[in-house]
């Protein structure tokens, strides 16, 4: 069984300091939270960025400054910028971080009803457009799937040449409008991807740690962080993203799974070795 890759989704586009004062907005706060996760054992930082007032942005220069800060504070870390951005952003606005040529970036594989009138729109043509951009720039996509139909979309577009192997999925579970976060739901998604694909699972809120345990046992990988959950345990706010990573590390050790370094994560995911 491969070592466990831990991804830290340190801030997201929706969660606020009102939910947890440690949620990062500023450059310094993002670097601090990334370092806390890295020190605890995370190999990948899944990155959204904000302006200092908390407003989400896909601005390339904001990403550049924060990514450079994280790279300096966390030697060797894999930085995975989001191309999801926030509801209402255009395709080209969302794609700005890919202009920085990161090793990885997210590729959302379907449209989702986030709640109320918020629709996170990803048409088939949008997904093709994003896939082509990532192929052109040599960026490995993490295929974000919120439901079974999005796996089917990803596999169909892979056959058409818009997504290249090796395929790596992220099961985002428990989101409003998407699949639930039960063990039954996890098994359904897990059984729907090719045998040679890798996957990470990220459960929202109370689903985070039960799904982490399932992935650890199954040989998959885990995503935690403030984007998905701000609590260390019921009613207890996490003081940092690092605390959430530490909890996964303890769980993995109890279940007999070693933690991957960033370079080991690159090997598992089929990323080129760093020079």
Summarize pLDDT for 184-220 with one digit per residue, the tens: 999 999 999 999 999 999 999 999 999 999 999 999 9
- The torsion angle over the Cα atoms of residues 209, 210, 212 and 214, rounded to 10 degrees, is 170
State yes or no: pLDDT of 1 exceeds 90: no
- Alpha-carbon gap, residue 55 to 139, rounded angstroms: 26
Question: How much is the mean pLDDT over the chain?
Answer: 97
Query: For the chain, how far is it from start to end, CA to CA, in angstroms?
Result: 27
- Alpha-carbon gap, residue 142 to 145, rounded angstroms: 9
In a 13 Å sphere around the CA of 265, the CA atoms on its Cβ side amount to 27
Range of the domain at 242: 6-269
Task: Flag whether 212 is in a domain.
Answer: yes
Q: How many residues does the chain have?
A: 275
More confident residue, 87 or 8: 8
pLDDT of residue 80: 98
Cβ neighbours of residue 90 closer than 8 Å, sequence gap 6 or more:
none
Q: Which residues of 14-51 are buried (b: 16+ CB within 10 A; e: fewer)?
A: ebeeeebebbbbebebbbbbbbbbbebbbbbbbbbbbe
State yes or no: pLDDT of 275 exceeds 80: no
List the alpha helices (DSSP H) in the chain.
Answer: 27-40, 60-73, 91-94, 124-137, 148-159, 183-190, 208-218, 241-254, 262-269
Q: For 90-107, what is the mean pLDDT?
A: 98
Task: Flag whether 275 is in a domain.
Answer: no
Q: Domain count of the chain?
A: 1
Model confidence at 140, pLDDT cuts 50, 70, 90, reads very high
Task: Flag whether 221 is in a domain.
Answer: yes
- Alpha-carbon gap, residue 101 to 98, rounded angstroms: 5
pTM for the full predicted model: 0.97
Q: For 76-101, what is the mean pLDDT?
A: 95
pLDDT of residue 274: 78
pLDDT tens profile 55-64: 999 999 999 9
Task: Flag whether 199 is in a domain.
Answer: yes
Task: Flag whether 188 is in a domain.
Answer: yes
Q: What is the CATH number of the domain that holds 41?
A: 3.20.20.70
Question: Considering the chain, what percentage of its residues have pLDDT values greater than 70?
Answer: 100
- Alpha-carbon gap, residue 141 to 48, rounded angstroms: 15
More confident residue, 273 or 26: 26
Q: Answer yes or no: are the C-beta atoms of 58 and 96 closer than 8 Å.
A: yes
Containing 245, the helix (H) or strand (E) segment is helix 241-254
Task: Flag whether 88 is in a domain.
Answer: yes
- Alpha-carbon gap, residue 246 to 37, rounded angstroms: 8
Q: For 124-150, what is the mean pLDDT?
A: 98
Beta bridge partners of 115: 118
State yes or no: pLDDT of 11 exceeds 70: yes
Task: Flag whether 1 is in a domain.
Answer: no
List the alpha helices (DSSP H) in 44-182.
Answer: 60-73, 91-94, 124-137, 148-159
Taking only Cα atoms into account, the Rg of the chain, rounded to an integer number of angstroms, comes to 17
- Alpha-carbon gap, residue 268 to 227, rounded angstroms: 24
User: 185: which DSSP letter?
Assistant: H
């Amino acid at each position: 069984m491969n070592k466990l890759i831990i991804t830290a989704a340190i801030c997201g586009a929706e969660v606020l300091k009102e939910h947890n004062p440690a949620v990062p907005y500023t450059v310094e706060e993002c670097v601090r939270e990334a370092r806390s996760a890295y020190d605890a054992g995370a190999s990948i930082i899944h990155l959204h960025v904000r302006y200092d007032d908390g407003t989400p942005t896909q601005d390339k220069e904001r990403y550049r400054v924060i990514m450079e800060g994280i790279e300096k504070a966390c030697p060797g870390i894999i930085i995975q910028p989001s191309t999801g951005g926030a509801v209402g952003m255009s395709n080209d606005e969302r794609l700005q971080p890919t202009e920085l040529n990161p090793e990885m970036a997210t590729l959302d594989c379907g449209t989702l009803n986030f709640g109320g009138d918020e629709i996170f729109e990803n048409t088939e043509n949008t997904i093709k457009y994003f896939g082509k951009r990532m192929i052109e720039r040599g960026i490995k996509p993490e295929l974000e799937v919120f439901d079974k139909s999005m796996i089917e979309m990803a596999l169909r577009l892979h056959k058409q040449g818009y997504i290249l192997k090796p395929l790596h999925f992220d099961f985002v579970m428990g989101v409003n409008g998407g699949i639930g976060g039960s063990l039954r739901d996890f098994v359904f998604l897990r059984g729907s991807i090719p045998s040679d694909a890798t996957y990470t699972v990220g459960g929202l809120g109370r689903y985070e740690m039960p799904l982490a345990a399932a992935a650890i046992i199954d040989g998959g990988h885990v995503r935690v962080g403030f984007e998905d959950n701000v609590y260390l345990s019921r009613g207890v706010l996490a003081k940092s993203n690092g605390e959430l990573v530490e909890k996964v590390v303890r769980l993995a050790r109890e279940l007999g799974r070693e933690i991957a370094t960033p370079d080991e994560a690159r090997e598992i995911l089929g990323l080129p070795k760093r020079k």
